[in-house]
Structure 1
Amino acid sequence: MFFVSDILKKSPDTYNSPLQEMVYESLTKLQISFERVNSDEAISMEDCIEINQKLDMKMVKTLFLCNSKKTKFYLFITTADKPFKSKDFSNALDISRVSFAPADLMESILGVKVGAATVFGVLMDKENLVQVVFDKDVLLEEWYGCSDGTTTGYMKVKTKLIVNNFLTYAKYIPTVIEM
């Protein structure tokens, strides 16, 4: 059985990564409230079903993409139920075809491993290499469910606070597309 803790409303006592610590420090500084859970390692969207039920929200799907030369990077945030089609994404942004960025680049740029991609990864993007792209359907949801930068910590935050407060603080202006 997949373990999901009771709901917690404060930062962890210890952190599993530099990014995870930055996430909670940023939310505290911005006075953004959250609910969170600890869980068994969740890698796929299927693993997130019980997390969604516990936090009463829908987890977003966050994909780290790049062009073929690995010189342009995109953090694409969409709904969990939508299949990703590279052609549709590329057409929506009027760019050449993208693919999934290699795991080592995701780790070096965003500070996360596979399964933990999160909007909060922009805190680690010191060179401002990443363009944040939202599927407009994500913005229609009241709650934003995502990883805290680990594969064992997940949280629920008001979507408008992620887009308007957190991304402004992190100095990112997201692009919104329809998929």
Structure 2
Amino acid sequence: MVLVSEIFTDGPKNYSTALQKEVYHALAKLKLDFQRVATDEVITMEDCQQINERLSMDMVKTLFLCNRQKTAFYLFVTSGTKLFKAKDFSQALQVARVSFASADQMETMLGTQIGAATIFSTLIAESKEVQLVLDQEVVENEWYGCSDGTTTGYLKLRTTDVLEKFLPFVQRQPKIITI
């Protein structure tokens, strides 16, 4: 069982990572409403169940993928309950088969560790080489639940705020696919 805090509507007093600090500064600058919880370390989607219950929403699944040559990188956001099939993803994007990028690449390009992949990595310059891909199912949800760049902090925001305010702020246009 994962310990989940009460719900907060402001950022943490101390930041665990540089990315986490950037996330909350961006949310404040954009004046985006959010709810957040602090947790024990959470790595898997199964671990997210108590977070989903506390925040009354479903966490997205964010995957960091690359081609075999490690020359093309993708940050794919899909439903937390959807089974990922590399073949379906590759066909939808019309690209060569993909696999999971390494932990080192994740740290370097996204500023996160395994289990903390987040759309908020688009705040850092190193992520510019990473193509952002969203599942249509995520785009249609009212709420967007994700990591704050750590494995111990999780957010709930309006999906429209992510799409219409945050992504323009970081000057990123996602590719939207259906799989």
Q: Same fold (TM over 0.5)?
A: yes
- Give the match's secondary structure for 1:126: helix
Give yes or no for the alignment of 1:20 onto 2:20.
yes
Q: Quote the offset at 1:140 in angstroms.
A: 1.2
**Alpha-carbon shift at residue 54 of structure 1 (Å):** 0.2
Letter in 2 for 1:108: T
TM-score (norm 1): 0.98
> How far off is 1:163 after superposition?
1.2
Shift of 1:123: 1.2
Cα separation, 2, equivalents of 1:109 and 1:2: 28
Contact 2:63 2:76 in 1 (8 A): yes
Tell me the C-alpha RMSD between the 2 structures: 0.8
Q: What is the CA distance between 1:126 and its match in structure 2?
A: 3.4
In the alignment, which residue of structure 2 is the partner of 1:79? Answer: 79
Deviant stretches of 4+, over 2 Å = none
- Which residue matches 1:153? 153
Unaligned runs of 5+ in 2: none
SS at match of 1:114: coil
Return closer, same or farther for 1:24/1:127 CA change in 2, 3 Å cut-off: closer
Match of 2:32?
32
Q: Report 1:19-168 matches (<5 A).
A: 19-126=19-126, 128-168=128-168
Aligned residues: 179
Cα distance in 2, alignment partners of residues 43 and 122 from structure 1: 20
TM-score w.r.t. the length of structure 2 is: 0.98
Cα distance in 2 for residues equivalent to 1:45 and 1:60: 9
Q: 1:127 Cα deviation (Å)?
A: 6.0
Aligned match of 1:5: 5
Q: Distance in 1 between matches of 2:28 and 2:82?
A: 32
Structure 1 unaligned spans of 5+: none
